[in-house]
Structure 1
């Protein structure tokens, strides 16, 4: 079993798209996957077809009420076997303030995950694009960080701060924390800029960068609005092909992690 945080402090890099499609592919391959949505925007939740208005118990309830068990929150996918979600709602934004008052506020999620971690092959945590108590909880609870980076001009802006954040958490809260890998996302083969960004990111992160690059793809962008991972929305599009390749590459590097 492995716990992985999908995080980048820079917004708009496609981390939710990466989360939904990687996890869906893993589940379709027969692996049991839990996605934890701790972003108050709840894009992973809605992107998997869950109506946030009808969620009875969410990550807000889990983090702020010690009587709530993790299994009380988890929702099973109706579309994909082995695929489970701990949903988010806008209420979660208030958890930041409530967590501030607690002594062990950085480790609440870690303690809750301990209840269910042996039930899954992979647990993925989708974080907000900010460094608050929710993100610190995620970084403390996981073993590694998967970093999506958009192939655009400001791609490396804030990367130094991101790596520094990971190192600070590793030093003070989670000594086992490592970078799982860096995924280049939204690649546009028509522009020289995208190719230049790829080279710059590889210089910075070296062998941590995945060989697979996710292209810009209309079908990939449309799928979340239908509450579907792209493989169920359009099996033949470039986005589906790219995430298939990425999932295989991810698994090849995680043979000992299942």
Structure 2
């Protein structure tokens, strides 16, 4: 195959990305230099030149250096996040998976609860989720102890997953007639934390609950179980559509089921700086929620989309990609907002 028809990453030859993003058109030599530890900005400039690509490489190099200097410490208590948006395709599962891996890479003990019948978070974290395995369905419907469903992810020894199976799709109906149907996940998590303590295991630092794009009993269980809500918002035209309804629903949960629930974090996803629309949406969201929106924006990246097909997070699949860097920065920022980062 001619050299200009492929790009080389980690000694693999891959066809060119169907939608090129800025990090996919970096010259091979420049990409190689960025991968080397201790490379100075001047050396990056000499390799890639002083054009836009050179400036981009220098900026990313500086961001990585800042990350390396951060000391991400454990929170004072377990932080439980529900990651939710009633609109589909905004990056809920990608956010759940990659934030969890980023936290684990930074020394945190993390549990991901896959509360979506599609089981995409389980797939991305390399966890089997056929109907034969213990899953969140068994926890919610059959009151199986959560410890019997949780397994360690191959991504990190600090990352654990409660998988979802297709059976979870029927849980919405089965839960309707059950006692305390809204508190089942909350009680299971509380018991799991107690079980870990009794077993002499380190406590969890973060729990991320990945939700389906709807407000049924599965999502309500997640809201009742959590103390914080993280809302991913896609940087596109329909970004704010349905957001007001989601906030109203969260308000109802706060009023009737979980007074301690707080919308603590809004994350802008699929950001493409080459378009005016993305910048306009980002500005509008920041205007409405100035104290909740993360400074870090997750770029629209082919690498983020590719990673789940290899049953990996983007942080493992391509550690040097802009998507990986963005999620690592977002994880540090979330920890910092909890007052747990020193520099």
- Give the TM-score category using the shorter length: over 0.9
Pairwise CA distance, 1:28: 1.1
Candidates 139, 145, 161, aligned match of 2:223: 139
Q: Confirm or deny that 1:104 pairs with 2:177.
A: no
Q: Which has the higher contact order (CA 8 A, sep 6+)?
A: 1
Distance 1:135 1:54, change over 3 A: closer
CA distance in 2: counterparts of 1:52 and 1:98, whole angstroms: 20
Name structure 1 gaps, 5 residues minimum.
none
Q: Secondary structure at the match of 2:191?
A: coil
Candidates 292, 303, 306, aligned match of 1:219: 303
Look up the match of 2:241: 157
CA distance in 2: counterparts of 1:256 and 1:189, whole angstroms: 30
> Which of the two has greater strand per residue?
1
RMSD: 1.3
Look up the match of 1:76: 152
Q: TM-score, length-normalised on structure 1? A: 0.96
Cα deviation, 1:147-172, whole Å, max 9, x if unaligned, reads 00000000000010011011000000
Distance 1:55 1:20, change over 3 A: farther
Q: Secondary structure at the match of 1:208?
A: coil
Look up the match of 2:83: 6
Q: Secondary structure at the match of 2:270?
A: strand
Contact 1:117 1:123 in 2 (8 A): no
Cα deviation, 1:80-101, whole Å, max 9, x if unaligned, reads 1110000001100111111001
Pairwise CA distance, 1:256: 5.9
Runs of 4+ aligned structure 1 residues displaced above 3 Å come to: none
Pairwise CA distance, 1:220: 1.2
CA distance in 2: counterparts of 1:143 and 1:222, whole angstroms: 32
The aligned runs of 1:178-193 (5 Å cut-off) are 178-193=262-277
Contact 2:126 2:311 in 1 (8 A): yes
Look up the match of 2:104: 27
Q: Confirm or deny that 1:41 pairs with 2:118.
A: yes
In our comparison, the structure showing a higher alpha carbon Rg is 2
Cα deviation, 1:123-145, whole Å, max 9, x if unaligned, reads 11001000000000000110010
Identify which range, 152-161 or 239-248, moves more after superposition: 239-248
Look up the match of 1:94: 170
